[in-house]
Amino acid sequence: MPPLQQVCQILITTLGLRQMPLSEKTPLLGSLPELDSMAVANLIIALEQHYGFEVQDDEISAHHFATVGTLSDFVVSKMA
């Protein structure tokens, strides 16, 4: 499964977005009421557990959480 699709699945399960269609352009931070600070922390934990990488404190920036696409790009950059 391509990273973008995996990230969508992780978002759906972590945030409980069962019925919501997600695409690369779907805005996240500030647009999804489900995405509060606790959810951001849980989302990062889920990504770390799934991919086995570690997210540093200074990498938690609004830019990475802007859209599904930017989050997926971030994951890909961490895997590189």
Among residues 29, 32, 69, 78, the one that binds other proteins under rule CB under 8 A: 29
User: Cβ(46)–Cβ(10) under 8 Å?
Assistant: yes
Does 76 bind other proteins (CB under 8 A)? Our answer is no
Cβ–Cβ under 8 Å, residues 70 and 63: yes
Asked if 31 touches other proteins (CB under 8 A), the answer is no
Q: Could you give phi then psi for residue 17, rounded to 5 degrees?
A: -95, 50
User: Which residue stretch of 19-27, 34-42, 68-76 sits at the interface with other proteins (rule: CB under 8 A)?
Assistant: 34-42
Q: Radius of gyration (Cα) for the chain, nearest Å?
A: 11
Report the residue from 20, 23, 31, 60 that binds other proteins according to the rule CB under 8 A. Answer: 60
